[in-house]
Structure 1
Amino acid sequence: MAEKQKLLHRYMKNLSDMEDELKKKELEKKMKELELLQCELARRQERSGTKCAGGKIKELRQKKLQKVLAAYMMTLEGLLCEVARREARLNGDRGRVSESENLPHPEMLEEYTVVFCAVGEDGRELLEAALSARRCAYAPYSKFKVGAAFRAKCGRIYSGCNIENVAFTGGNCAERCALAKGISEGERKYTAGAVVAYHPDQFTTPCGVCRQFILEFLHRDIPIYIAKAPPPEQEHCIPAIQDTDEVLVTSAYRLLPYSLRSFE
């Protein structure tokens, strides 16, 4: 019985080899026929003065192979980086937060402080628009006025102020007020923002709810300019911000690096 099984196994293997050989010969035959057809097409097109069809096919194949190779190289680089990170962690090294693939936005803009006169024209324009909006703030309870401005992708600036309510939860922050104006007019993308308020000892940055609200309408990090408004006794002075006043230039991702992201 064992001998018969061996013979049957050998027979099946030989049959499979013969099939493979036949398929190989058939494929070689078809390839030769295809090459002959391509050469004939090339000759005919050369006679008519047009570009060689074989050359076009070769060029298309090369482009396709280049794309596939580039995709493989990117995958390989990613795997090598991941291996390096894991080895570093196993060796007790601390991983850099910006290199983690689990963060929604590892690339952040630079954060720094600079005097107002050194801020770019776009930033100064946003801060002045925020200051202008702040004058309309409705804050009878806290007396803390805030102004904000955001530049839409189209270039238009939308500004807003904080609006308080006797039922505190019914109030609205300046940042959301400014963005709501633009969103209600169809603007969904923004390139920069600014916030101004008066506090004697520190900059006033957006609250947590506003930070999450801002990030809802961003596809990449944008600069946020933060400046102090003049104290109440100097509110009507011109200029409202002196050239030597300090400005914090931060970014939306730095304000809320671990924001809630889409579940899609």
Structure 2
Amino acid sequence: MAEKRKLLQRYMQCLNEMQDELRRKELAKKMETLEKLQCELARRQEQRVAQGGGQMGKSERRQYLKDKLKSYQKTLKGLLCELARREAFANGERGRVSESDNLPHPLKLDEFTVAFRYVGEDGRELLMAALAARRCAYVPYSKFKVGAAFRAKCGQIYSGCNIENAAFTPGNCAERCALAKGVSEGEKRYTAGAVVAYHPDGFTTPCGVCRQFIREFATRDFPIYIAKAPPPEQEGCIPAIDDDEEVLVTSAYNLLPHSFSAYE
């Protein structure tokens, strides 16, 4: 029985190697065809220019050529990535998720921490607006105040606080409160956000529902500043955030990787 199992494993391994070899040859042929098409496109473009351009103007022809070239380069890049992925898989390596065509990744901003003194004016203004909104939080049950603020593309800042309810479910988070304000006034595109709350053990980031809510209006990734508010006994202190206080600079896409969105 063991001999049959070993023989079957060897057979499957040989079959996989043959399939990989066929795929590599197929990709090599496609790449060769793509290169020929690029050369032919360039030749025809030169011929059109020499003949006076036909119906398209010079600038239009140049833009047409650029668009075609970008399209071919994108296809070529995809083929090269697929070839590398399959070769790595054949060698027993695990594929990198970021290179999968089935899981497109939007361009994400960097995520880091920085002292408050080094936060830009845009981030400082948002954090201050979030702190101001936090004072209005309605939290008779948890006593956990949260403030949030988001800057719309027009530059207007919309802030909000968390609002609790005796039935719990009808309550609203600060992030959704702030964004709902902006959306209700016609603003559906945002460039930055901020969330502040006090927790002795670390930063308070948006909950899962709020992360999906933020993602709905993030057609491009934008920074989100997370800071700790002063403890209850120091709520009236000035400044509200010390210059040496650490701020987490994350983003909409970092908060919800591999997120669901209908945005194209």
For this structure pair, what is the TM-score category when the shorter chain's length is used for normalisation?
Answer: 0.7 to 0.9
2:214 is matched with 214
Residues 116 and 246, structure 1, Cα contact 8 Å, conserved in 2? yes
2:27 is matched with none
Structure 1 length as normaliser, TM-score? 0.75
Structure 1 CA distance for aligned equivalents of residues 65 and 162 of structure 2 = 57
2:259 is matched with 259
Bigger-Rg structure (1/2): 1
Q: CA deviation at 1:222?
A: 1.0
2:52 is matched with 55
2:40 is matched with none
Name the SS of the counterpart of 1:55 in structure 2: coil
1:196 is matched with 196
Amino acid of the structure 2 residue aligned with 1:221: D
Structure 2 CA distance for aligned equivalents of residues 70 and 150 of structure 1 = 35
Q: Call closer, same or farther: CA 1:190–1:70 in 2, change over 3 Å.
A: closer
How much is the aligned-residue C-alpha RMSD, in angstroms? 2.2
Structure 2 CA distance for aligned equivalents of residues 162 and 53 of structure 1 = 67
Q: Figure out how many residues of one structure are paired with residues of the other and give that number.
A: 213
Q: Show CA shifts across 1:114-142 (max 9, x none).
A: 11001111111111100000000000000
Structure 1 CA distance for aligned equivalents of residues 145 and 66 of structure 2 = 58
Unaligned 5+ runs, structure 2: 1-48
Structure 2 length as normaliser, TM-score? 0.75
Q: Show CA shifts across 1:7-41 (max 9, x none).
A: xxxxxxxxxxxxxxxxxxxxxxxxxxxxxxxxxxx
Deviates more, 1:130-139 or 1:53-62: 53-62
Structure 2 CA distance for aligned equivalents of residues 186 and 66 of structure 1 = 36
2:117 is matched with 117
Q: CA deviation at 1:261?
A: 2.3
Unaligned 5+ runs, structure 1: 1-51
Identical-pair percentage: 74
Q: Call closer, same or farther: CA 1:69–1:199 in 2, change over 3 Å.
A: closer
Structure 2 CA distance for aligned equivalents of residues 217 and 149 of structure 1 = 14
Name the SS of the counterpart of 2:205 in structure 1: coil
Structure 2 CA distance for aligned equivalents of residues 254 and 171 of structure 1 = 26
Q: CA deviation at 1:95?
A: 2.9
Q: Show CA shifts across 1:34-68 (max 9, x none).
A: xxxxxxxxxxxxxxxxxx99423286696445543
Structure 2 CA distance for aligned equivalents of residues 70 and 205 of structure 1 = 39
Structure 2 CA distance for aligned equivalents of residues 196 and 82 of structure 1 = 43
Residues 99 and 106, structure 1, Cα contact 8 Å, conserved in 2? no
Structure 2 CA distance for aligned equivalents of residues 214 and 141 of structure 1 = 25
2:71 is matched with 71
1:144 is matched with 144
